[in-house]
Structure 1
Amino acid sequence: MLITDDFLPVPVPESLTATYLVPTTGSVDPAPAEAVAALGGRLSGPVHDLARQMLDSPLMTVDTRPIAEFPHLPPDLLTAFGATDTQLARLDAATELVVVQASYRPGWPPAHEWAARTVACAVAESLGADVVDVFALQFLDPATALRSLPDAEGRVRLIDWVLVPYSSDDGGLWFTTKGLRRFGLLELQAQGVPSHLTRAWGAVMTGVARRLLRAWTDGLTDSEVPAFVQLPVVTSVTGHDIAVAYGNPQQHDTTGPAALRLELDPATDPDADSFLTLLPPSGHPGPTGRYFAAVCATLFGAAAQSDVRYARPDDAMARAIATARDGLPGIRDRFLAGTLPDGVQLLVKYGLPTDEGPEFVWAGVTSWATPERIVGASASDATADPAVRVGQPVVVDAVDVVDWALLDGSGVIEGGWTQAVLDAGDRSQR
């Protein structure tokens, strides 16, 4: 392998393992092959074939074990990633776990993840049970998780597999990814991100993850797994990278590219994670945060600025909220029945309390088992609540919902009444 200053050698693990759990009560027969077959046309042909082949091979195991034999699942972390009280109660009452594990070499497709998630969700649906993704310490709604699997052309949304959490530090915000290790790649981090760029920078991190994952898997195409893959020290990210990562490949973006430098940050503690750190290109003058702001401006323009909006106490907004709320039962029924159009995402808009009035944010719906509570992933970063971040799990009380919308690659195709009122107000002020 030729090592130059233009490339960064990143170590490749020999193999990868995915683990999913299905908590149950009493002795059960998971019957994984029958459960997968029962999914029928809900799986693409390639995914169905992959799951069946892995089940018939020593690369996958499906075991039922007493729950006491498995390491304790911390309820506080599960709650932080969206677990409901009902899910935690079912886990606490469970006596056994169906443990689905699959191993495979690094590369594309990540057969271990695709197959293990398929089988675990199939088993959970057949038993009327939950699924726990051990990597993310996250409950998954089986029906929603099945939709995260590749379509017939092998396409997935990276945001269904990689989260972008962040926290505050002395110099600003510290962003990381959580999910690239599923594919063997080190997680990304960025430090010193200005706080007003939370939403934009989360999208940047997701776009960079998509760009690097492509370079990573392109370096793993040989029959032998290499010891290292060389990633470019200076990588670029475009609006199209971000659109693809969010599942909108038809969006043709003309912004960017913006350049970022990679630096390997190895862990000194053997139990800690190493990272690929995102930095400005070498020789860039000024603070790191200023360059990150320039990257967001290049990719998003004015949209990179904070977009917190508060309710207007006027008749038009009141009518918009009433219309949206009247339609909640119907859109929930369509979501649960799986009758929404292909490629469409359901989002809900809800209020977070602040001293200036409620701050409204959006969340993509992943589960809506009871009318009163909606489980989803945040589609925006909240100023009022540092726990509400793009891609992070959220639990929304239906009474707090003021709007809903169906989105495809072209934008809102149904709903979004409050946003229409806000947009009309913006136009009237021009």
Structure 2
Amino acid sequence: MSEVDKWGRVYNCCSGTFRFEQITLATFPGVEMHSNDVSLYSSAIAGYVLGKPIDYEFHGALDFVNEFDFREPDQRLAALAVGFNLGRFAGGKANAYKTSHREHLVANFGSYVERTLDKVRKLPGMIPIKSYSPRDWILHLEEAIDRKAAIFSYPPFYKGGYEKMFEFLAENIKWDAPRYELFDPKALRGLIERVRQAGVPYCILSDQIYDDLKPELEFVSGRGHPHYCYVSTGKSSYLQLVPRSAPFRYKPIDLDKIKPDSVVTIGRADAAQMTFLKDVYLKKGITHTPGMVNYLVRVDDMLVGGLIYNLDKFAKRSIYLLSDFAISREGRLSKLATRLACNGELLRDMGKRFIDRFDKVQTSAFSDHPVSMKYRGIFEQTKREEIDGPEGKFRLHYVGARIDETPQQAFEWWYGKHFKR
């Protein structure tokens, strides 16, 4: 019998989208699961799977939903789910990307609800919970201690974070919301100690690290913030997720074959191909993060390097350059890749994909030096951090303005000013 089977009864504090419930109950179907949350999203799902649908009323930005006259519990939950998705494009500063997606969802709302119904109807079989309590998760934790039950918790990482996530639904759907205290992550250390002293099994996930308490697991995804797992048993296992790598046939660059009239081309690539190249050519010890858009740079069909981009989460009309690299350190090829990273044709290509306009490129680089020579003259350094880690002594932040020239003009600039055999 496994450790989890021995628990018998588990209280999940902060169920969210019920991922923990789905994984645990699929693996250990004999466990009695008692879920908890304070959000409308979680409460509506729990009410549906338990056969006790809750009441809620669409209004404000979602008032148009009432025109569909959704009456059945599965229809109303599907409408709420589509409304939650619509909220992703309703907050923050408006832009063409958000506006077009929001208008599309509103215009096709009924169709999206129909497509969501099948997923909704599968929920009772996927989340066979025993009970659900819409209340402060600390009260749920205290009941678990009183009943000698196991505790799982994945509380918010920052104060008000949970409220921000469900802000759109809270503002545009009326329901009998439970009262609760806004959780401050700084209080988590005391709660972990409370659970430890109670002697019940527990598993608590957090981004908090303490000098006097060692987590059993640390999880880092790409360059994201580390997650730590505090558990009541030292025995633990984990899965390591590795980005998929796909080797492919290519002709590496030969400096002796580059001529003044050589032709530069830029083509789309998939993430697996870029992972393969980064594993082969980039500095070891750097954590590689997959991008949303990838390009391969070639000169006369010979591979020079790659460009990897993500949407910028903070700056307006900006795209984030995750990586720009050359497969050879010779000939100052990296300078060509960096110049092309700001190329107007590429930025317009990505603008069409994301229905936005990109006028600048943000990036960060690790280096053992306070400046990165390949960015000089193309990007402007905006910040320098001393980190003295395995990736380098400095983390450098740069921004580059869009360069309105053809890729061939960029090649001619590089060939005349920087190329050396």
Range into which the TM-score falls when normalised by the shorter chain: under 0.3
Q: Report which of the two has the higher share of strand.
A: 1
State the TM-score, normalizing by the size of structure 2.
0.24
Higher relative contact order (CA 8 A, sep 6+): 1
User: Could you say which structure has the larger radius of gyration?
Assistant: 2
